[in-house]
Amino acid sequence: MDTDASEPILKPYHRHHHDHHNSPTPVKASDALPLPLYLTNGLFFGLFFSVAYFLLHRWREKIRNSTPLHIITFPEIVGIVCLAASIIYLLGFFGIGFVQSCISRGSHDSWDVEEDNGGGCSPEEPPTCTLAPISRAKVVAPTIQEPFLSGDDDEVIKGVVSGTIPSYSLESKLGDCKRAAAIRREALQRMTGRSMEGLPLEGFDYESILGQCCEMPVGFVQIPVGIAGPLLLNGKEYMVPMATTEGCLVASTNRGCKAIYASGGASSVLLKDAMTRAPVVRFGTSKRAAELKFFVEDPANFDTLSVAFNRSSRFGRLQNIKCTVAGKNLYMRFGCSTGDAMGMNMVSKGVQNVLDYLQPDFPDMEIIGISGNFCSDKKPAAVNWIEGRGKSVVCEAIINEEVVKKVLKTNIDTLVELNMLKNLTGSAMAGALGGFNAHASNIVSAVFIATGQDPAQNVESSHCITMMESVNDGKDLHISVTMPSIEVGTVGGGTQLASQSACLNLLGVKGASKDSPGSNSRLLASIVAGSVLAGELSLMSAIAAGQLVRSHMKYNRSSKDVSKIPS
């Protein structure tokens, strides 16, 4: 173990920097002197009180002797400098945490409720799980009521195994996320009698996921990232990172990019940008449910409702409200633009504001749930396919005959026919919902994982209809992908983690766009659609040319004898 369990209570503010070689750790005032922490603190405390005493003493003397206060001697100048230095040090060390703990004590965030039960988050509804930075700070901040655990690692592991120390509380009790993960992992191995060897623990910044991305970590899964590209889209080139363990996928997408590039590139249009949330409310009668429907859908009320909704964030802007009634129940689907965030948090907060605003005028409205599934998040649903959710994008390219022949090894007529019989007719026969494509979800998932998107939103983000048509008297192929619900963001969630943020950086869409908020996430959605276009083109060509099985045998089957791999 790399931390000293007997280190004093202040440890979280003076974290061990070697734990975080992956991310830059802010330099603290306490790092200035090469002394143990308690000596540095003692030194500055001593300095502060002795200098303060000296200066007050001098001040009193000056008043007694009627000496003007602005006449300052050299020892007094030194005293004032030392006082300022010690105040800066002590504020830098204790001040921030103290202010934060005061603020977080005052704010009634979800963590206050969740901490007791080990976290009441529903994975289906991420908004309530994501914590504001202040509440995250609270997890590691020491409190008088709950001092950090002392004792060596083995003692703590035994506590977790016996159940006296809840596993979920390790981060807050130890004040050291890496040590918490190591202890939890060892306890898990002892409890199950199974080894976790192979799942790495080292080389990950566990602080970066605290209260944000993953609870109770014991390590991290490695997924290789391959690069497809350049994808020539709207006149610009992008190297697309894809995290996958499926052989052929990156190679195939890369071939599609090559065909698009050789034909002059693809172009895309963003048709809509609106994340949605639909609460369900209940009334005593269907008539009352319908009255609220007519009220919120009345254009005359839109501005008033927008004002209430938009208070949630400077980026969330209400665009529309679409309602549906089921008996006495009303589902109101709020759509709003969310800047560079994927936006579920933002839209949920806005919806809550509107419900609070409506309640006095509709006192008989019973709020059953902030999400009533008419949203619809992470489930196949026609509403997303028809109305869109997140970014709706259409992307197209014209591939010339020569490229179809030389790069894709097939011909236009075969491709058009295959598309009609497979992606359109075949999917219709299968009763597909948004699945009128060859493998959009392959590309969507790989790009989502690489760039820190929510992989569960692959469900609706992969909705796609692929169209192919021969144009210019049969000399060129027009291919398009229409994707109505690509849910992506470049801030929040997993996008801030080191690896994912490196992939966003490669695409030039890292973080919030300063010039035009929302343009980074919109560009990312277009890149996703462009990559899907490349993937569709290549896989369809492989099937048309009868190459699919052959190339999978080449790329997916290594010469390793699977029977000899230890189980």
**DSSP letter string, 428-485:** HHTT-SSEESSSHHHHHHHHHHHTT--GGGHHHHT-EEEEEEEETTTTEEEEEEEEEE
Q: What is the phi/psi pair of residue 553, to 5°?
A: -65, -35
Minimum gap (Å) between residue 524 Cβ and ligand ADP: 12
Binding string to ligand ADP for residues 315 to 334, with x set by CB under 6 A, is what? x-------------------
SS (H, E, C) 272-292: EEEEEECCEEECCCHHHHHHH
530 counts as binding ligand ADP under rule CB under 6 A = no
Q: Which tokens hold the place of 176?
A: 């050291």
Q: Which tokens hold the place of 73?
A: 């001697």
CB 93 within 8 A of CB 30: yes
437 counts as binding ligand ADP under rule CB under 6 A = no
Piece of 60-68, 242-250, 340-348, 535-543 that binds ligand ADP (CB under 6 A): 340-348
Minimum gap (Å) between residue 310 Cβ and ligand ADP: 12
Answer for which of 140, 170, 187, 342 binds ligand ADP (CB under 6 A) is 342
Name residues contacting ligand ADP, limited to 152-181 (CB under 6 A). none
Q: What is the phi/psi pair of residue 469, to 5°?
A: -150, 140
Place of tokens 């004032």: 80
State the Cα–Cα distance between residues 401 and 408, nearest whole angstrom: 10
Nearest CB to ligand ADP, comparing residues 12 and 127: 127
130 counts as binding ligand ADP under rule CB under 6 A = yes
Answer for which of 172, 345, 353, 499 binds ligand ADP (CB under 6 A) is 345
State the Cα–Cα distance between residues 399 and 351, nearest whole angstrom: 45
CA distance to 86, 222, 386, per residue, from 383 (Å): 61, 35, 5
Nearest CB to ligand ADP, comparing residues 156 and 275: 275
**DSSP letter string, 90-132:** HIIIIIHHHHHHHHHHHS--HHHHHTTTT----TT-GGGTPPP
State the Cα–Cα distance between residues 248 and 267, nearest whole angstrom: 25
Nearest CB to ligand ADP, comparing residues 275 and 542: 275
Nearest CB to ligand ADP, comparing residues 347 and 481: 347
Give the residue at shortest CB distance from ligand ADP: 339
Q: Report the residue count for the chain.
A: 567
Binding string to ligand ADP for residues 495 to 524, with x set by CB under 6 A, is what? -----------------xx---x-------
494 counts as binding ligand ADP under rule CB under 6 A = no
344 counts as binding ligand ADP under rule CB under 6 A = yes
346 counts as binding ligand ADP under rule CB under 6 A = yes
491 counts as binding ligand ADP under rule CB under 6 A = yes
Minimum gap (Å) between residue 131 Cβ and ligand ADP: 9
Piece of 228-236, 337-345, 459-467, 536-544 that binds ligand ADP (CB under 6 A): 337-345
Piece of 85-93, 148-156, 343-351, 553-561 that binds ligand ADP (CB under 6 A): 343-351
Minimum gap (Å) between residue 347 Cβ and ligand ADP: 7
State the Cα–Cα distance between residues 286 and 364, nearest whole angstrom: 12
Q: Which tokens hold the place of 537?
A: 């083109």
> How many residues line the site for ligand ADP (CB under 6 A)?
20
Reference 293, options 308, 312, 306, 279; nearest CA is 279
Minimum gap (Å) between residue 522 Cβ and ligand ADP: 11
CB 488 within 8 A of CB 528: yes
Minimum gap (Å) between residue 464 Cβ and ligand ADP: 22
Name residues contacting ligand ADP, limited to 192-251 (CB under 6 A). none
State the Cα–Cα distance between residues 238 and 387, nearest whole angstrom: 29
Minimum gap (Å) between residue 368 Cβ and ligand ADP: 22
State the Cα–Cα distance between residues 464 and 396, nearest whole angstrom: 13
Piece of 68-76, 172-180, 365-373, 490-498 that binds ligand ADP (CB under 6 A): 490-498
Binding string to ligand ADP for residues 280 to 319, with x set by CB under 6 A, is what? ---------------------------------x-x----
**Nearby residues of 290 by Cβ (< 8 Å), 6 or more positions away:** 325, 330
In terms of C-beta density within 10 A (0-12 exposed, 13-18 middle, 19 or more buried), how is residue 102 classed?
A: exposed
Minimum gap (Å) between residue 505 Cβ and ligand ADP: 16
Piece of 49-57, 105-113, 320-328, 487-495 that binds ligand ADP (CB under 6 A): 487-495
Minimum gap (Å) between residue 314 Cβ and ligand ADP: 7
Answer for which of 259, 341, 370, 497 binds ligand ADP (CB under 6 A) is 341
Nearest CB to ligand ADP, comparing residues 337 and 441: 337
In terms of C-beta density within 10 A (0-12 exposed, 13-18 middle, 19 or more buried), how is residue 344 classed?
A: buried
Answer for which of 489, 494, 530, 535 binds ligand ADP (CB under 6 A) is 489
Q: Is 250 helix (H, G, I), strand (E, B) or coil?
A: helix
Nearest CB to ligand ADP, comparing residues 383 and 509: 509
State the Cα–Cα distance between residues 21 and 6, nearest whole angstrom: 23
In terms of C-beta density within 10 A (0-12 exposed, 13-18 middle, 19 or more buried), how is residue 532 classed?
A: buried
State the Cα–Cα distance between residues 349 and 489, nearest whole angstrom: 17
Answer for which of 142, 211, 229, 339 binds ligand ADP (CB under 6 A) is 339
Q: Residues with catalytic annotation?
A: 246, 378, 454, 552
Minimum gap (Å) between residue 520 Cβ and ligand ADP: 7
CB 85 within 8 A of CB 50: no
Nearest CB to ligand ADP, comparing residues 313 and 458: 313
Name residues contacting ligand ADP, limited to 108-127 (CB under 6 A). 127
Name residues contacting ligand ADP, limited to 441-460 (CB under 6 A). none
**Site residues (CB under 6 A) for ligand ADP?**
127, 130, 313, 315, 338-346, 489, 491-493, 512-513, 517
